[in-house]
Amino acid sequence: MNKQGLINTAAALLPLLLAVPAHAGTTLDRVSNSGELRGVLLESYPPFSFLNSKNQLEGFDVDVVKAVAKKLNVKLKLDTPSWEVIAAGKWGKRWDICICSMTPTREAAQVLDFPVIYYKSPAVLVVNASDKHTSSIKTLDGKKIGVQQGASYERYLQKTLKIEAPGAIQPSFPFSKVNIATYDNEEIIFQDLALGTGKRLDALVSNLNTANERIARGGKFRVAATLYAEPNWVAVDKGDAQWQARVKQVVTELKQDGTLAAISRKWIGSDITQ
């Protein structure tokens, strides 16, 4: 082989060497070959996913991912890395699916793909039960509002939230500027608000279902206002169109045959999957 031929061959091989990102179908192949679906979940997000007293994961999200695995006719393996690790994307073949109440914000859509929506839950403004007046975020300008770091609620309070989903209704921001207090975990936000209005917080932003769960368990809180409808989508690692199509098909079937509605009624008390 002459020198020119060598260079031509190298030039022809180069694109093959550089094509590292996930090829279409790799996740789908992995799941069907191994007979195992590897999902990620949060371990402390009741009633969606949490560790129960028997040391097992359970909740709305857990039942949905179990139903997906059953439909695919594969075994299920669940992992519980931190939210930051899940949301960083680039799962490196570790995980196949995240049915973990994720909202496709602009930032999340850059690192993950979102094949299908599986429930909607309103984002709400929660105040201490002793605050009988607040009925809108409009009156909270300059007040201190607690929110979980990295959650879409934080972007809402920064007025930068944009939901990257087909047909999504974009939130409006009827306030000029609030004082945002970001927390590492939602438990502490609720505890700080429970101390009383204005002690450490004036309000917090969370999800209607988690807030209701706390109020039902005797938390001294009140849902003051609904802020925007937050769609929660199934998330998968970037770049596998065939896997996305398969996931979308399975979840749509589960919606149609009433499985999702039944799971929703079991954990939430109403159907939030429509």
Partner 1 sequence: MNMENRFRLQVSLVILLLLGLLAWFAAAFGLDYRFALEKLPLLLGLQLNPEGLLQGVPLTVLLCLVSTLLALVIGLASALGRLSRNPLLYGLATFYNSFFKGTPLLVQILLIYLGLPQLGIVPDAIPAGITALTLCYGAYLSEVLRAAILSIPRGQWEAGKALGMSSRAILRFVVLPQAMRVAVPPAFSLFISMLKDSSLVSVMGLWEIMFLSQSYGRSSYRYMEMLLSAALIYWLLSVVLEVFQHRLETRMAASSRS
In the numeric block, which tokens belong to residue 256? 């149609």
Query: How far apart are CB 1 and partner 1 at their closest, in Å?
Result: 30
DSSP 255: H
Q: Is 185 helix (H, G, I), strand (E, B) or coil?
A: coil
Query: How far apart are CB 217 and partner 1 at their closest, in Å?
Result: 6
Phi, psi angles (nearest 5°) of residue 135:
-130, 5
Whichever of 202 and 237 has its CB closer to partner 1, that residue is: 237
Whichever of 15 and 92 has its CB closer to partner 1, that residue is: 92
Query: How far apart are CB 249 and partner 1 at their closest, in Å?
Result: 28
Query: How many residues appear in the chain?
Result: 274
Query: How far apart are CB 148 and partner 1 at their closest, in Å?
Result: 12
Paired sense of beta strands 36-40 and 75-79, if any: parallel
Q: Assess contact for 114 and 165: CB atoms under 8 A.
A: yes
In the numeric block, which tokens belong to residue 201? 């917080």
Whichever of 85 and 168 has its CB closer to partner 1, that residue is: 85
Whichever of 213 and 253 has its CB closer to partner 1, that residue is: 213
Q: Assess contact for 115 and 244: CB atoms under 8 A.
A: yes
Whichever of 36 and 253 has its CB closer to partner 1, that residue is: 36
**Which residues of the shown chain bind partner 1 in the complex (CB under 8 A)?**
40, 43-46, 50-53, 55-57, 77-82, 84-85, 88, 90-94, 185-188, 191, 214, 217, 219
Query: How far apart are CB 41 and partner 1 at their closest, in Å?
Result: 9
Give the whole-angstrom CA distance, residue 181 versus residue 105: 20
